Structure 1
Amino acid sequence: MTRRTSNINIVSEDVLLIHPKDAKKRDLNTGDIGRLYSGRGEVALKVEVTDKVKEGIVFTTFHFPEHMVNMVTGHGKDEETMCAEYKVSSVEVQKISNQFKTEVKPKENQAEVS
């Protein structure tokens, strides 16, 4: 869960793994930012399209608290351990558009500084 373990040597950030067929349906490509959401909450994660996960399944780690991935997990708890059911949550994914991205262009008769 934290950066105090050797997991930082395995992954440097939380990413959302999604099957190629699911990604295609949602117009997602590796490197895009995806909105992972459920009835409980939502987070934005970088997408990695891969066949490492089955179609209809998404996966992410939750090592980096700034992403707050637990916001999308359900309220259920394992009866034996009383831990949250991290691996059994119904979620949806959609591409976050770049509609708010702005590009500064020099106005006519304005010099560019390099």
Structure 2
Amino acid sequence: MRVISGERKGTRLKAVPGDQTRPTTDKVKESLFNVIGPYFNGGRALDLFAGSGGLGIESLSRGCEEAVFVDQHHKAVQTIQDNLRTTHYTDQARVLKKDVAVALAELASEEPFK
């Protein structure tokens, strides 16, 4: 896994150890961001069931100002934090170790994600 485009293009990302998480492949990530990429101009990203954090990190690399990562599994949270350190995005990220429904309820009162 790697960052496909943007300021951290080519940076390798760790995958979550074990077989509980299936990372988004580079090919799928590239297709997704080819569709939504032209709409990136600052803003906030929300990476639910974040796993390794690849999608949120890709968003940061392409110009999002902040990303919130949500996953309830300890190994995933550790991997996200490692990948954020590798890409130097720790100051632009918030990692929540919570159930997605709980996190969404808490995030509802904040600035919208766009």
The normalised TM-score by structure 2 is 0.23
Bigger CA radius of gyration: 1
The normalised TM-score by structure 1 is 0.23
Q: Larger % of strand: which?
A: 1
Q: Larger % of helix: which?
A: 2
